[in-house]
Amino acid sequence: MHAEKGRLYGVSLGPGDPGLVTLNALRVLEEADSVWFPATPGQGGGRSSIALDILRSCGIDERKCRGIELSMSSDRSHAEQAYARSWLLMQEELLEQKSVAVVTVGDAGMYSTVTPILEHAAAAGRPYRIVAGVPAFLAAGAAAGLPLAAHAERLTILARVGSVDEIDRVLDREKGTVVVMKLSTVRDQLVPWLEKRRPDFFYAEKIGMPGEFITSRVEELCARTIPYFSLLVCSRYGRVASSVEGKL
Amino acid sequence: MHAEKGRLYGVSLGPGDPGLVTLNALRVLEEADSVWFPATPGQGGGRSSIALDILRSCGIDERKCRGIELSMSSDRSHAEQAYARSWLLMQEELLEQKSVAVVTVGDAGMYSTVTPILEHAAAAGRPYRIVAGVPAFLAAGAAAGLPLAAHAERLTILARVGSVDEIDRVLDREKGTVVVMKLSTVRDQLVPWLEKRRPDFFYAEKIGMPGEFITSRVEELCARTIPYFSLLVCSRYGRVASSVEGKL
């Protein structure tokens, strides 16, 4: 896939490891006239962005990269304003026949920061293309050395659950593997629940990023803060494989 | 990620478009001493392999590529024998300190042809690494121009369902998006079921491969044979986006 003039692209970067960027994504990012990335304002006035870290590692010219500043606040109106402002600027670029890429950590189709921009584009009748990528839960399975589903097994993905009861209900009801993404909403309930329910599980945090951590031992979770980029996999394959290189 | 001597790699190729191969996968495939791919024996004595097509498109030296011949028969014993034979040969290569890659279409963690080889490796105490990739359902969502899940929405993935009743039960029980992969098992039930249930859906076939086809209209499915590489997405986003480039 090549970046064409006057075109909008929603580009998946994968979960953090620049090596999980696809060839299509790299080509579009190299050729695009501008690359928009989600960023979080920092406490000292700076900002942090996993997406920008990945873009830098891939050698994308930083002069064409522009941040969409999204605070981590649960009040969505700030984020909605940031998206609306960024979309207006992107739209100007598109009218000037520039090629515009907007990137997301993970895949653009699952719980993605590009969705609101693509919704603005759709509402404005502006065509776009999506470049698919590697989602965090599959990268976590790979890091653990475990398949997530085989044959006719079922895989259920939950995100931002309100309570561990929701995980309980799905585990009771659905056979197969249950993945819970963006675990920080149940931060305080997680360890007591794992101790009580005792599912076969693994927990993964910051997969492919600095600080990557993966475990299938409850004891190792007691002292952890459970960040936004974290996930839990409950399945019959739920133990980190002892034969994974580097985890022996 | 680099291919190291004496190491086994389970490498995800993505669903078919060589542009969906990741940078890590490409590097491992280029550096590996041998690359094993799943192939299906053809009727005329030849064989077909989507995986080999992708390897060729990525410029991987075909002289180091070796097929694992898997018939599409539902009798698993032939496949098990083919895996066991291939694993013995791979093990010899690993003992000779060669780097060995075994590839899968899609992602190595979901319904993958590499799983049996990695199970052989685990049983033999032989370390391996998995290179994550793009699964077909996310590439299908990208091709349709649709998000599959946002915010706290649930995503359930079924594969090789025995009957459409199973899809019905999950749709009734779980909110959010339901993906059904490897639809050919319900080939004859699909159109009558869609006509009766009338979910918001899209159907995708051979995503990223020659013959890619995608629709959200039941009428367009009546005459189709529904091949192995096909999937159905039922969700509130289930209509192919009119603003997707090329689908206007």
List pLDDT tens digits, range A25-58: 999 999 999 999 999 987 777 788 999 999 999 9
Boundary of a domain, candidates A131, A163, A183: A131
Alpha helices in chain A (DSSP H): 23-31, 50-57, 76-95, 115-123, 136-144, 164-173, 187-197
Residues B152 and B214 in one domain: yes
Inter-chain touch A115–B24, beta carbons under 8 Å = no
Residue of A nearest to B108 (CA): A147
Which of B18, B109, B126 lies nearest to residue A138, judging by beta carbons? B109
Question: Terminal CA-to-CA distance of chain B, rounded, Å?
Answer: 40
Instruction: Indicate the burial class of B199 (C-beta count within 10 angstroms; 0-12, 13-18, 19 or more).
Output: middle
pLDDT higher than 60, residue A247: no
B 171-190 residues inside an 8 A Cβ radius of A: 173-174
Q: Which two three-digit tokens encode residue B105?
A: 């279409």
Tell me, what's the pLDDT at B245? 54
Inter-chain touch A109–B161, beta carbons under 8 Å = no
Tell me, what's the pLDDT at A248? 30
The DSSP code sequence of A169-217 is HHHHH--SEEEEESGGGGHHHHHHHHHHH--SEEEEESTTSTT-EEES-
Residues A13 and A114 in one domain: yes
Residue B3 in domain: no
Alpha helices in B75-199 (DSSP H): 76-95, 115-123, 136-144, 164-173, 190-197
Bridge partner list, B244: A128
Q: Specify the CATH number for the domain of residue A152.
A: 3.30.950.10
**Neighbour tally for B40: CB within 10 Å:** 15
Report ipTM for this prediction: 0.94
CA distances from B79 to A130, A226, B4, B49, B84 (A): 36, 42, 28, 15, 9
Residues B151 and B202 in one domain: yes
Inter-chain touch B14–A27, beta carbons under 8 Å = no
Q: Residue B129: name the closest of A206, A246, A240 by CA.
A: A246
- The residue type at B187: R
Helices B164-173 and B190-197, interaxial angle, to 10°? 30
Tell me, what's the pLDDT at B247? 42
Which residue bears the tokens 């799983």? B115
Tell me, what's the pLDDT at A173? 87
Q: Which residues from B are below 8 Å from A134, CB to CB?
A: 22, 107, 132-134
Half-sphere exposure of B32 (CA within 13 A, CB side): 32
Per-residue buried b or exposed e for A97-134, using 16+ beta carbons within 10 Å of the residue's own CB = ebbbbbbbbbbbbbbbbbbbbbebbbeeebbbbbbbbb
Q: Which residues from B are below 8 Å from A151, CB to CB?
A: 111, 159-160
> What's the domain count of chain B?
2
Please indicate if any CB of chain A lies within 8 Å of the CB of B226.
Answer: no
Boundary of a domain, candidates B116, B131, B146: B131
Residue of B nearest to A182 (CA): B152
Residues B33 and B121 in one domain: yes
pLDDT above 70 as % of chain A: 97
Cα–Cα distance measured from residue A49 to residue A105, given in angstroms and rounded to the nearest whole number = 10
Q: How far is B24 from chain A (nearest CA, A)?
A: 5
Residues B33 and B98 in one domain: yes
Q: What is the mean pLDDT of residues A130-153?
A: 94
Q: Which domain holds residue B71?
A: 8-131
Residues B33 and B123 in one domain: yes
User: Is A64 within 8 Å of B59 (Cβ atoms)?
Assistant: no
Q: Residue A236: name the closest of A151, A163, A165 by CA.
A: A151
Tell me, what's the pLDDT at B242? 67
User: Is B231 within 8 Å of B136 (Cβ atoms)?
Assistant: yes
Convert the pLDDT of each residue in B51-65 to its tens digit: 999 999 999 999 999
Convert the pLDDT of each residue in A185-208 to its tens digit: 999 999 999 999 999 999 999 999
Residue of A nearest to B15 (CA): A132
Cα–Cα distance measured from residue A247 to residue B239, given in angstroms and rounded to the nearest whole number = 44
Question: Terminal CA-to-CA distance of chain A, rounded, Å?
Answer: 40
Kindly indicate the confidence band of residue A237, based on its pLDDT and cuts at 50, 70 and 90.
Answer: confident
pLDDT higher than 50, residue A109: yes
A 86-115 residues inside an 8 A Cβ radius of B: 107-112, 115
Tell me, what's the pLDDT at A245? 54
Q: Residue B228: name the closest of B190, B196, B185 by CA.
A: B185
Kindly indicate the confidence band of residue A228, based on its pLDDT and cuts at 50, 70 and 90.
Answer: confident
Residue B127 in domain: yes
Q: What is the mean pLDDT of residues A62-90?
A: 91
Tell me, what's the pLDDT at B74? 67
User: Is A8 within 8 Å of A201 (Cβ atoms)?
Assistant: no
Q: Which residues from B are below 8 Å from A108, CB to CB?
A: 142, 147
Residue of B nearest to A140 (CA): B132
Name the stretches of chain B with pLDDT < 70: 74, 242-248
